[in-house]
Structure 1
Amino acid sequence: MSKKHSEDKRPMEYVIDLKQLSYFTHVAELGSYTRAAEFTNVAQPVLSRQIRKLEIDLRQNLLIRHGRGVMLTDAGKILLKHSRLILRQLEQAQEDLSLSEGKLTGHMYLGLPPTVARTISLDVVQAFKEQLPDAHLTIIESLTVNLEEQIHLDRVNMGLLYNPSSSPTLETQLLAEEQLHLICGVDSPYAQGRSRIALKDLADIPLIMPSLSNSFRMLVEKEMQKLNLKPQIEFEINSVGVIIQLLAKGMGAAILSRSVLEFIPQSGLLTAIPIEQPALVNRLYLAYSSKRLPTKLQVKVRQILIDICQRHFPGRDD
């Protein structure tokens, strides 16, 4: 009498390629193959092919393409949750191994707003070369609102943000306070006979300002709204560098930090008039995700940033 073989009920075994997992995570978080290709510097067809292999190995559809990019399937959402942990653990393991050799390694993605990037980037790179020669640094220059989102999505490890929103998943530390000024040419009619200017009087001055997503602009709008006023925006330009060039040529006025005067090659072209009643104070915070413990590299970089900001923004009273 032949013996009937029972059905094999052993759990299915998966062999996951870490590179494929990393590609999947980037595409899932960035929402499209195009953005992921730009971020990873890997050709779009390669990303697509590797993720398809991952789907075949796992016997699951992970992503659905649509006109604006991709969306996660239920299986994709589950895998993304675990892939973030796996890749973070791998990064931690690599760091622990390097520490056993007396080195700090890893890749730091640091986000800086444009004015801050112009002020401290040179010092940050120099500090990395001297103190962290075995670590890699990528500086991402963008507006605070974009950097905050990228920290939440784990695309940026740490950032310096102006007036970030309050969030339980964002750890922040106040580093500096800057009073905003009316910046204009020394010969501008708005500068004549003025050593300071009341906030309410700014409503009569046509301004060159960044768009509403900029922290300076949001602060100005918020404080003027309290006085039932609105700023008079003549031009919206999302480049502080271009705004400075226009001001230096006498083509208007703007509300910015006084530190922008450092970016003018010829001194004496612009003047900074303090704003009062009330003063407009922009606050710069060090920010990072509270969802996981920081690596030793991140702890070291945090201290480097604090030291650099104390040198460049000495006006804050602790």
Structure 2
Amino acid sequence: MDLRQLKYFVQITESGNFSRAAEMLRIAQPSLSQQVKNLEEELGVDLLLRHARGVTPTDMGQQLYDHARRILEEVERVKDVVRSQSVTPSGRVAIGLPTSACRGLSIPLITAMAERQPNITLRVVEAMTGYLDEFLQMGRLDVALLYDRRAFETVAWTEMMVEELMLFVPPGHPLAASGGVTLRGVFEHPIVLPGAPNVLRTVIEQFAARHDIKPVAMDCDSLPAIAQLVQQGRALAVMPHFAFIDEMRRGEMIAVPILDPTPSWRLSVVVSPRTMNPRGSDAVAKVLADVIAGMVEAGTWRARLRPDKSRGEAGRAVAR
């Protein structure tokens, strides 16, 4: 058994079809079939079930697939460790972006990385902050943009800015033309929020509790679904301004300031303590911080930067 056979077997299992796997691997299908046959003979078990639609792994095949994936991922991580020791940052870096920021931030970040760190292969992962924090602690992410630094005190972080939360309403709603609404007034309307333990839900509930307000809201963890609920007038949403910037540009939503009090949260660039590519991760974190600072200064991202996080300074601020 060798790494090439494991790579072939993983691709076949994920493709569910020999011809599709052969195309992905750019080898002849008979050669691929022979490699699997050799592997089955060596192990003395059947690894794949052949049927009209393609192939599926047997119980033993599934076990081999699970182990093979981990082995191949570890091999790639070892390569990244060695590459990361070079003067120029390189290798793969997985970065996590929260759902509320990913749509507006991912393309500027990818563009900036291509210009400033072309030797780094960037993998962008979108998820809710709670999941990103967990992935970061497990080493599945190297860098992340997270809300509320108290959730990750054990890792290297740089607090970037404070972002206020706003109430999103459809055009024509009675609040659309108002100058603002109190937090108590927000919950006089049907509200949709991500479900607990989402950080945004926690922030809103904490602000409400300090003012003896009981926030009642439906749960929805899908940002596109939340957008549709607002657009259809079925509910209002509390989100940061940046989350629905495209919808606002198209005139599909109106952002109303929340007053007395104004809920807000902090955003930080975080580097995983388990990253296998520290040089590359630091480089990505610096570019991310600089891109965010530039967007805030340009007014694209409505937030308040920390005084030392202006563009240029932000790129040098990531703690280690």
Same-fold call, TM cutoff 0.5: yes
Give the aligned partner of residue 221 of structure 1.
205
Q: Residue type matched to 1:91 in 2?
A: D
Give the aligned partner of residue 49 of structure 2.
none
Gaps spanning 5+ residues in structure 2: where? 6-13, 15-55, 298-303, 308-320
> SS of the residue aligned with 1:173?
strand
Could you tell me whether the CA contact under 8 Å between 1:109 and 1:140 is conserved in 2?
A: yes
Give the aligned partner of residue 165 of structure 2.
180
Q: Residue type matched to 1:271 in 2?
A: I
Give the aligned partner of residue 161 of structure 1.
146
> How far apart in 1 are the matches of 2:207 and 2:261?
8
Deviates more, 1:112-121 or 1:258-267: 258-267
> How far apart in 1 are the matches of 2:64 and 2:111?
39
> SS of the residue aligned with 1:269?
coil
Give the aligned partner of residue 130 of structure 2.
145
Report the CA distance shift for 1:251/1:238 in structure 2 as closer, same or farther (over 3 A). Answer: same
Deviates more, 1:279-288 or 1:263-272: 263-272
Could you tell me whether the CA contact under 8 Å between 2:81 and 2:277 is conserved in 1?
A: no
> SS of the residue aligned with 1:204?
coil
Could you tell me whether the CA contact under 8 Å between 2:137 and 2:273 is conserved in 1?
A: no
Give the aligned partner of residue 264 of structure 1.
247
Give the aligned partner of residue 274 of structure 1.
257
Shift of 1:130: 2.2
Shift of 1:157: 0.4
> How far apart in 2 are the matches of 1:138 and 1:313?
24
> How far apart in 1 are the matches of 2:74 and 2:111?
32
> SS of the residue aligned with 2:150?
coil
> How far apart in 2 are the matches of 1:167 and 1:237?
24
Shift of 1:113: 0.6
CA deviation string 1:64-87 (max 9, x = no partner): xxxxxxxxxxxxxxxx9xxx9998
The within-5 A match list for 1:57-72 is none
> SS of the residue aligned with 2:158?
strand
> How far apart in 1 are the matches of 2:284 and 2:82?
18
- 1:200 corresponds to which of 168, 172, 184: 184
Give the aligned partner of residue 122 of structure 1.
107
**Percentage of matched positions with identical amino acids:** 22
The within-5 A match list for 1:12-161 is 48-49=63-64, 91-96=80-85, 99=86, 103-161=88-146
TM-score with structure 1 setting the length: 0.68
Shift of 1:251: 2.5
Shift of 1:266: 5.6
CA deviation string 1:166-220 (max 9, x = no partner): 444322211122111111023113445x311222222322102211232222111
Report the CA distance shift for 1:270/1:158 in structure 2 as closer, same or farther (over 3 A). Answer: same
CA deviation string 1:264-318 (max 9, x = no partner): 1763332211112221112111112235796221121111101110122333241
> How far apart in 2 are the matches of 1:258 and 1:131?
28
Give the aligned partner of residue 253 of structure 1.
236
> How far apart in 1 are the matches of 2:245 and 2:288?
20
> How far apart in 1 are the matches of 2:266 and 2:149?
9
> How far apart in 2 are the matches of 1:271 and 1:257?
12
CA deviation string 1:70-112 (max 9, x = no partner): xxxxxxxxxx9xxx9998665322333xx36xx4321111000
CA deviation string 1:207-263 (max 9, x = no partner): 022112322221111111222322121x32211222123222333211111223422
- 1:316 corresponds to which of 305, 309, 315: 305
> How far apart in 2 are the matches of 1:187 and 1:52?
56
Q: Residue type matched to 1:49 in 2?
A: L
> How far apart in 2 are the matches of 1:95 and 1:290?
15
Could you tell me whether the CA contact under 8 Å between 1:244 and 1:260 is conserved in 2?
A: no
Could you tell me whether the CA contact under 8 Å between 2:193 and 2:201 is conserved in 1?
A: yes
Report the CA distance shift for 1:169/1:162 in structure 2 as closer, same or farther (over 3 A). Answer: same
Aligned length: 253
> How far apart in 2 are the matches of 1:168 and 1:284?
13
Report the CA distance shift for 1:126/1:278 in structure 2 as closer, same or farther (over 3 A). Answer: same
Report the CA distance shift for 1:267/1:141 in structure 2 as closer, same or farther (over 3 A). Answer: same
> How far apart in 2 are the matches of 1:123 and 1:134?
17
Deviates more, 1:281-290 or 1:293-302: 293-302
> How far apart in 2 are the matches of 1:164 and 1:18?
41
> How far apart in 1 are the matches of 2:108 and 2:235?
32
